[in-house]
Amino acid sequence: MSQLPAPKAGEFSLPTRVYIEDTDAGGIVYYVNYLKYMERARTEWMRGRGFAKAALGDGKQLMVVHSAEVQYKRPARLDDELAVTARVSDCRRSYMIFEQQVWRKQELLCQGQIKVACVNAETMKPEAMPAPMLAAIKDQ
């Protein structure tokens, strides 16, 4: 993909393209699809640190989105080349906060702050992240 911004230090960037399935009747990306792009970037960021599944360790813990705050700046359109970034801005025992952006060339289209929590898979209550995961996140 051409002319997309280079990732900053500590930032992961996932290139993607807008397909017809991402758009509304006017060829503009449907707002919720920006959250899907961000989810993919976070997933690949985690995969790059050795955590490829939503279930952790012995499958008794999950990583789930706790909250999302998103600001839409400009619309993406059919066939646009995009870069979706992810970087951890805060990491605690049971959650982390991602700062994420969606870019078209050098133009910021969307940005968000996504809080992802570690929960018990059965009770869905917060739990501390496994030590190896916490270390990998803090060592970024």
Residue numbers annotated as active site: 24
User: Would you call 96 helix, strand, or coil by DSSP?
Assistant: strand
Distance CA 33, CA 37 (A): 6
Q: Give the list of residues 6+ apart from residue 79 with CB closer than 8 angstroms, or none.
A: 17, 18
Q: How far does the chain reach from its first CA to its final CA, in angstroms?
A: 25
